[in-house]
Structure 1
Amino acid sequence: MTTVEIRPATLRDAKTVAEIHTVASQAAYKGIVPDEYLKSSSTEKRVAQWREAIEYCEPQVQVAMDEGKVVGFVGFDRSRDPKSRPTTGEIWALYVLPSHWDKGVGLALWDAARDGLSEEGCTNVTAWVPLRNERAMRFLELAGFKRELTTAKTTPMGAIKLEEIRLKRADLN
């Protein structure tokens, strides 16, 4: 178990967050998404997206630090799902460098997001996950999330379509 410090992301973290997003996505989605699509993921495009998210706190972004280095991040805010209650939060993104998988970094990030959502008045939280991403499914289920089977949807990712499902945790305590 790695000892990590969680802190709010700063604009200086945007490039590192984008790099982690790219590297962790490529590792997590290998075999789920075609390699050509994974290789085409642009860190530069993600830098702009994460810089904007960090600057405007939409979503709120927290980073995990291990020995002074950012090794993971979580983005969370109110749910983006139509018709969701204002007390429903959402994990928009949670990525950790593959070198830090299974070391407690994801759990520390989840704890920070849960605390942040609770402070915002959220009483439950959701996350959308590709059905074939067994690692993410297992992580969220261990964190108390349950699959909402009626939410399965197909999401276009470039030339492919990805089956996703929403998971929900009804109690943030």
Structure 2
Amino acid sequence: MSDYEVRPATMRDAKAVAEVHALAAKAAYEGILPEEELRVLAPASREAKWREAIEFSEPQVQVAVLDGEIVGFVGFDRSRDPKTPSTTGEIWAIYVKPEHWGKGIGVALWDAAREGLEEEGCTTVTVWVPIRNDRAMRFHELAGFKREMKTAKTTALGTVRVEEIRLKRSVA
């Protein structure tokens, strides 16, 4: 049994979600993005985005809380990819503070997203992962996601171009 509570995010959580996003992204992209790009991963640049997401539920946001502190979050909704059926959901973002990596929080967040997507009538779920982000790739593959090899694409992360691939699995 975990000591973490996973619950829907509230407007008051936007700042903490932005902080988790910045800290976790900085750690996750170390060695993938240059140092100057890592420095601009500031919470302030993300807070408005997450406030809007929480307010309008686009995406739906769930947070993991430990002793009153938000230590992780997941954003999920229908797939943003063109030409995907309305029964396809997507993990838009899933991040955990680095000091809590490997403690089951990501799995708890994934479970919450899976349940939410199932309630929305989704039967499959996708996630886009940078190919060089070994930790994220391993996490999703352990959660049953399979790489869709023909989906590899180059995306801009700041001023850098990163290769991403879509992974997919059934919601059930």
TM-score scaled by length of structure 1: 0.97
Which sections of structure 1, spanning at least 5 residues, go unmatched? none
- Structure 1 stretches of 4+ moved >6 Å: none
Matched positions, count: 172
Does residue 133 (structure 1) correspond to residue 130 (structure 2)? The answer is no
Q: Over residues 81-105 of structure 1, what are the superposed CA-to-partner deviations in whole Å (9 max), with x where a residue is unaligned?
A: 0001000000000000011100000
Contact map agreement 1:2 1:66 (CA 8 A) in 2? no
Give the CA deviation at 1:159.
Answer: 2.2
- 2:73 and 2:96 in contact (8 A); partners too: yes
CA distance in 2, matches of 1:148, 1:133: 16
Residue 49 of structure 1 corresponds to: 49
Matches of 2:3 and 2:144, distance apart in 1? 22
Query: C-alpha root-mean-square deviation of aligned residues, in Å?
Result: 0.9
Matching residue of 1:82: 82
Match of 1:84, SS?
Answer: coil
Specify the code of the residue in structure 2 equivalent to 1:74: V
SS at match of 2:82: coil
* DSSP-derived class of the 1:122 partner: coil
CA contact (8 A) 1:64 1:70 kept: yes
* 1:146 and 2:149 are equivalent in the alignment: no
- Corresponding residue of 2:162: 162
Q: Which residue of 2 aligns with 1:37?
A: 37
Give the letter aligned to residue 60 of structure 1. Q
SS at the partner of 1:18? helix
Q: CA deviation digits over 1:93-141, x for unaligned, max 9?
A: 0000011100000000000000000000000000000000000000000
Unaligned runs of 5+ in 2: none
TM-score between the two structures when normalised by the length of structure 2:
0.98
Give the Cα–Cα distance (whole angstroms) in 2 for the partners of residues 2 and 111 of structure 1. Answer: 13
State yes or no: 1:73 paired with 2:80.
Answer: no
Deviation of 1:3 after TM superposition, in Å, equals: 2.1
